[in-house]
Amino acid sequence: MHSILAVDDSASMRQMVSFTLKSAGYNVVEAVDGQDAWEKAGGRSFDLVLTDQNMPRMDGISLTKKLRENPQFKATPILILTTESSDQMKMAGRSAGATGWLVKPFDPNKLLEVIKKVIR
Amino acid sequence: MGMMEKLDLQTDLAREYLTFRLGDEEYGIDILKVQEIRGYENPTRIANASHFLKGVVNLRGTIVPIVDLRLRFGCASAEYNAFTVSIVLHIGHRTIGTVVDSVSDVMEIPAESVRPAPEMHSAIDASFIRGLAQVGERMVILLDIEGLLMSPDMGLAD
Amino acid sequence: MAEMNTDNSQSAGIDLSQFYQVFFEEAGENLDNMERLLLGLDITQADDEELNAIFRCAHSIKGGAATFGFSDVAELTHQMETLLDKLRRHELAPNASMVDVLLASGDALKAQLARHQGNGGDAIDTTDLLANVRALVAGQAPTAVAAAPAVVAQVAAAAPAKGKRLVELRVGPLSNLAQADELRDLFKEIEGLGTIEDLPSFPDQANTRRFKLETASAESDLLDLFTFHVSREEVVFLPWSEGGVQVDPDKGLFEGGAAAAHEEPGYGFFDNAPGAPLSGVASASSASAEVVQASSAAAKPAAKADKPAAGGLESSTIRVSVEKVDQLINLVGELVITQAMLAQNSRGLDPVLYQQLVSGLTDLDRNTRDLQEAVMSIRMIPMSTVFSRFPRMLRDLANKLGKKVELVMQGESTELDKGLVEKITDPLTHLVRNSCDHGVEMPADRLARGKPEVGTITLAASHQGGSIVIEVRDDGRGLNREKLISKAREKGIDAPDTMSDSDCWNLIFAPGFSTADEVTDVSGRGVGMDVVKRNITSLGGTVEIDSAEGYGMRVSVRLPLTLAIMDGMSVGVGEEVYILPLSSVVESFQVNEEMVKTIGGSGRVVEVREEYMPVIELEKVFGVPRFDWEHTSGIMVVVEAEGGRVALLVDELLGQQQVVVKNLESNYRKVNDVSGATIMGDGRVALILDVGSLVRRSRH
């Protein structure tokens, strides 16, 4: 069973994403911000990391950078969920090592569709 | 009461009534306000309260005041024996117990059988009497129990 | 603009409405947080972290609102977010009207969310608000800053902000990219032309430079300037689109950037990124190795700790409904009663014969106490929850009255029982309003008296003994003795000239007493100080006033820490049982007739260690019927409260136990000299005596 780390400071978003993924048969671990995600990531492996961008303590881009420094997460697909699809955001994402992005708001089906493309 | 007021009163009469006896008289109150019926237990006295406020009792953890309607209505006698009952009412957000001689039954009284009460002197202010119902041979005095219990002279509310 | 949400609730099998409640709660918290941060913002030296936090509040609400289909909310928050983004990037400097507009927007959002939750109300007209936000974004002043009025819904969208606009400029393909630099210089050299900002080029258009322009100048004018440096055909102006689809007039919908080809699917993958899907999936063309402008995108991670009383994001707390906590408290209360009953019934047992049982009961007693303490502490919440409403309320009130007032809060972390919190809010609100309305003088008056123009109202909470003390202090005009006395006399209250100051201040608590010259709609609503006092007294508390004319006033509210459980001493008078709070019992001793003396025919005193103490015969106070005329009460219990002591005459001491305090007022009303009731081990009700009121009795 595939394991996904879902990171978002908004409880309602987290619940929605979690529910969607679990209904599709994925195992989900939730984190409330980048820092929390980093702590939860230690010593585990995930098949995918889904992270919001704007969060307190550590944002999505910074989390991505940090995860990439860890050999365990070097190749893990990381998708950044963001309300902006500006070029600046994309550039920052790419340079941090993200695999891709998904624009908010998205509907649950779209989420599943995109995930299927990257999860192996 | 004017004619219009009497007609209005008819439209907001309840459907089902709990009837009870105070001495020789029979009264009816809106069943929806009745929470339960209990035997009489000796309440804890409250000093300097009116004579019909017997005190307070413990009703499953809640402190409930007990009012003896027989004393309030000036009945000839008010005994406390094995047949004495308390009708526990839910009025607004308050729970209040009322002591009566006995409880009769629950009956449906159609609006048509209710007549307005005549103007007369009695221990009960006429404004608390919704009407007089003819049920077979009996006359049931329909009470606005909420208005009565919440009126200032009852001393229940601030 | 849309008023109700587009129905996203059913999204191919997933019912999103199950998340609505969480979203509403979360949005509520975000709005509270945002308001608090806005009120605390120092405009002259805005803190980056705070600006970021405010941004995130709006951003978070927007994300959820958009996802769950509350488009009116999403639209307003989107505009606010645009403004906040500029603020946090220092593209705009904060000012007071921005704060006002953002506060008003927060109010509008609250109303919109309330409607979505089904709380009714008219559709919110946010036309003006949106126009104002847009104006601020464009660096202009808003027009009327009114609170969002709830008006019947209308149709047209808001007019675009006048003046400056945003434009995307593309220059190329250029053989020499440096030519475009010169366009930048134009903006530097020519005043009033606008601002220009670099944008990253599209990877497949590496020879085309992109810029973001903010300008009031017409495109034709700009073109005239540009053609000094580049040819006309190389220049393209495009409407600016913030974070969404960018229209390329040549190619139709979006193309370019590190995104998928020819349409905006709402997602994309970076070419050659770790974890990227293999070929066959839409992927981006490789980017050239360029320095990325990442600095503006990422918010700085918070190095500082959260300010106290912020809606923390710790995952070490759990949310529990109030009903569950109350049920838990009730159950523990019942347990205390049962345990007391067991203790009482086992008193007669032979401790040797029943050693295990007795020792088990002793353990049970201790366990119950510990459990009860732990459970009561669940209900303890910090005063900040009460105080939190005051900054905004005071700001609005001061503005309305034309006064300048600063609010200082102390001891916000002092805890009190949740049940008290709800009941103390109204009285405190009245006191604060009072201080602002009647206490603090107009700025000109204050200056004339040599006081600082800005008045100070202080809210302070602290624990003292078994009570919580809450003070409302102001440095305003204080109370006027003469006025109070003459007003009292007008009302027929006895007010001798020689009355003490504290008695004089207490005149304020007389019903219907208001020395305001006109009843302002703010605090003179008939919700007088007498109601405040009554509310506090019904909670078992006391209120005191201290004042110095010209300097200010202080109102001190003292409340018991918890309403629910208390250590009591039960005493018997005739057939009745009364409970005294153990904490107020000093001592008890036996007396006989001779030891009790009379003064003035009616006042009785007893000698206690060379001191004569007033005696209160509980039998008389409570009209306890006596059937045994031979009987004389033989025990004095000395109790202390409000700085005084009295000796209560009772028949016997029955014991000490923990009692669960029940409220008389919920079904009945306040009874004199009684602070509550409890249920004894035998199921009967016993009244808990109000020692303070008994002590006061003795003074008259």
- How confident is the model over C658-682, as pLDDT tens digits? 777 787 877 888 788 888 888 887 7
**Separation between Cα atoms, residue A82 and residue A104, nearest integer Å:** 5
Question: Which pair of structure tokens corresponds to residue C181?
Answer: 């630099």
pLDDT tens for C245-268 read 343 333 322 223 333 333 456 778
Do the Cβ atoms of B46 and C666 come within 8 Å? no
Share of chain C above pLDDT 70, in %: 78
Report yes or no: C270 and C284 within 8 Å, Cβ to Cβ.
yes
Residue A119 C-alpha, separation from nearest chain C C-alpha, in angstroms:
8
pLDDT tens for C528-537 read 787 788 778 7
Non-local CB neighbours of B127 within 8 Å, separated by 6+ positions? B144, B147
- CB within 8 Å of chain A, chain C residues 30-89: 53, 55-56, 59-60, 62-64, 66-68, 74
Residues of B within 8 A of C693 (CB-CB) are none
Mutation site for C-interface testing, chosen from B35, B51, B58 by largest number of C Cβ within 10 Å:
B58
Taking Cα atoms as reference points, which of B68, B76, B73 lies closest to residue B52? Answer: B68
Mutation site for B-interface testing, chosen from C621, C667, C669, C684 by largest number of B Cβ within 10 Å:
C667
Segments of chain B scoring below 70 in pLDDT:
1-14, 158
Q: Residue B146 CB: number of other CB atoms within 10 A?
A: 18
Q: Does C280 lie at the interface with A, CB-CB under 8 angstroms? A: no
Residue C632 C-alpha, separation from nearest chain B C-alpha, in angstroms:
20
CATH number for the region C322-379 comes to 1.10.287
**Separation between Cα atoms, residue B126 and residue B150, nearest integer Å:** 15
Identity of the amino acid at C224 = D
Residues of C within 8 A of A106 (CB-CB) are 67, 266-267
Question: Which fold, C165-239?
Answer: Alpha-Beta Plaits (3.30.70)
Do the Cβ atoms of B47 and C621 come within 8 Å? yes
Which CATH superfamily, name and number, covers C384-560?
Histidine kinase-like ATPase, C-terminal domain (3.30.565.10)
- CB within 8 Å of chain C, chain B residues 25-64: 43-49, 55-58, 61-64
Q: Does domain C565-699 have CATH number 2.40.50.180?
A: yes
Non-local CB neighbours of B146 within 8 Å, separated by 6+ positions? B33, B91, B92
Residue B124 is predicted with a pLDDT of: 76
- CB within 8 Å of chain C, chain B residues 79-138: 93-96
Query: Domain residues for A55?
Result: 3-118
Do the Cβ atoms of C274 and A86 come within 8 Å? no
Domains by residue range for chain B, with CATH:
3-154 (2.40.50.180)
User: What does the angle CA C598 – CA C601 – CA C602 come to, to the nearest 5 degrees?
Assistant: 75
Residue C199 C-alpha, separation from nearest chain A C-alpha, in angstroms:
8
Q: Which residue has the higher pLDDT, C593 or A111?
A: A111
Those chains having 3 or more beta-carbon pairs within 8 angstroms of chain C are A, B
CATH of residue A83 = 3.40.50.2300
Of A33, A48, A87, the CB nearest to C199: A87
Do the Cβ atoms of C687 and B46 come within 8 Å? yes
Q: Which residue on chain C is closest to A55 by alpha carbon?
A: C56
Of C267, C292, C293, the CB nearest to A114: C267
Please state the domain extents for chain C: 10-137, 165-239, 322-379, 384-560, 565-699
Do the Cβ atoms of C685 and B56 come within 8 Å? yes
**Separation between Cα atoms, residue C421 and residue C561, nearest integer Å:** 11
Report yes or no: C588 and C633 within 8 Å, Cβ to Cβ.
no
Segments of chain C scoring below 50 in pLDDT:
1-8, 145-162, 243-263, 280-314, 517-526
**Separation between Cα atoms, residue C331 and residue C112, nearest integer Å:** 39
- CB within 8 Å of chain A, chain C residues 129-188: none
CB pairs under 8 A between B and C: 67
C636 three-state secondary structure: strand
**What is the pTM (predicted TM-score) of this model?**
0.48
Mean pLDDT of A11-29: 90
Do the Cβ atoms of C667 and B62 come within 8 Å? yes
Residues of C within 8 A of A108 (CB-CB) are 11-12, 14, 16
Residue C507 is predicted with a pLDDT of: 82
Residue C480 is predicted with a pLDDT of: 87
Residue C563 is predicted with a pLDDT of: 57
**Separation between Cα atoms, residue C406 and residue C436, nearest integer Å:** 10
Do the Cβ atoms of B46 and C671 come within 8 Å? yes
Q: How confident is the model at residue A83 (pLDDT cuts 50, 70, 90)?
A: confident
Report yes or no: A76 and A119 within 8 Å, Cβ to Cβ.
no
Mutation site for C-interface testing, chosen from B42, B46, B98 by largest number of C Cβ within 10 Å:
B46
- CB within 8 Å of chain A, chain C residues 296-355: 296-299, 301-302, 313, 315
Taking Cα atoms as reference points, which of C93, C126, C84 lies closest to residue C107? Answer: C126
Architecture of domain C10-137: Up-down Bundle (1.20)
**Separation between Cα atoms, residue A30 and residue A37, nearest integer Å:** 8
Residue C630 is predicted with a pLDDT of: 62
Q: Does C662 lie at the interface with B, CB-CB under 8 angstroms? A: yes
Mutation site for A-interface testing, chosen from C79, C269, C316 by largest number of A Cβ within 10 Å:
C269
Residues of B within 8 A of C624 (CB-CB) are 45, 47
Number of domains in chain A: 1
Q: Does B77 lie at the interface with C, CB-CB under 8 angstroms? A: no
Residues of A within 8 A of C302 (CB-CB) are 56-57
Do the Cβ atoms of C62 and A83 come within 8 Å? yes
DSSP-derived letter for residue C287 is P
Q: Residue C612 CB: number of other CB atoms within 10 A?
A: 12
Residues of C within 8 A of B59 (CB-CB) are none
**Separation between Cα atoms, residue C136 and residue C2, nearest integer Å:** 23
**Separation between Cα atoms, residue A29 and residue A41, nearest integer Å:** 9
Residue C320 region by backbone torsions, left for phi larger than 0, else alpha for psi between -120 and 50, else beta:
beta
Q: Which residue has the higher pLDDT, C612 or A7?
A: A7
Of C18, C275, C315, the CB nearest to A77: C275
**Separation between Cα atoms, residue B114 and residue C72, nearest integer Å:** 55
Residue C367 C-alpha, separation from nearest chain B C-alpha, in angstroms:
22
